[in-house]
Structure 1
């Protein structure tokens, strides 16, 4: 059995199995996933270490949840040499991957799976500022009305369209974020801003800083009026 398939399956079932693992097991699983995903790459011994961590993580799940993952015919996973480029993007299970399990445990949110995973990747790839950069510019990254997304390891990044060239929050953005309830659903708010909008003909973020930004509050309000 491919251990990466086991880890991918665990991501897909996380809502039902997470509460069945004790704190110690969760901590160990998170540490192993961190090594699989973020460990050093390049030289062959390092790739082997990442590969061994994946096997150890699958073993932990098989021991802790034998009814879910303990059906390996040999009772244990057989460690093999990692193929070239071994890492978190091996086997998938119903659209879930090892990376999705790492997101759940290390990044602290549920933007995973075949539907939300691509959205996560797209939003995190957009231009963004980190809290340190904002603080150096005199802007509070924790201020109300700002979208904050959790990246790798839970590192916070704030989509760049929210700020002026001087890293100051744009009033129209904070106003619209309040309408979108960005404090409760930052991913949904970011997706609204960065996706093409049928009414506007472009993404709302592309209108920020232009005369057409005046259309944004009404457009966002129309969205919430339909709910």
Structure 2
């Protein structure tokens, strides 16, 4: 086996720099793992990279014999590792694309209402007591998570700013949407709802976490407190 000088060893470079900072030849060398007399794994990786050049996507279709003829160091084990690495990368990319399609972006109150109707349908229809949730969003207003803050009769003691913004800080959120239900089936905000929202908005300003909206869900209804007359939340 021919070993690479320490400064050339791709595995050490990956651990030090991360996989994204390695050349394609180095990534292939890690998958090949074992060289032969007169040729290192890195040289083998460079040979494959040069051969496929700008058609690297075709490497997945290369047969075992084709790679073995091109570079004898690619024996059965190395070939299997290369193909497994390619397939794993393909599946990761496919999962990322699928998740991107599921990303929910809140562009305004109607988006917030639509999201909350879907996400909190059970809460709106079936819940017999009030629940208060906070939905966290990133800098692009993509939904990150939703968190249950309290269950039971809501007041300013139960729904404390500390409890509301703790998950937002943990999620590194830039903004939040407040959500709670009215078991009565009437989504009209109460005076307590308005007062609580203003209090939480003020607390969010101190933390640089914006309260984008507060949605009340009830039966088949949903109300945006941002759009509700008299609240005047800042956009």
TM-score range, shorter chain: under 0.3
TM-score of the two chains, using structure 2 as the length reference: 0.21
The structure whose residues are more often strand, as a share, is 2
Choose between structure 1 and 2 for higher RCO, CA contacts under 8 A separated by at least 6 residues. Answer: 1
Whichever structure has more helix as a proportion of its residues is: 1
What is the TM-score normalised by the length of structure 1? 0.21
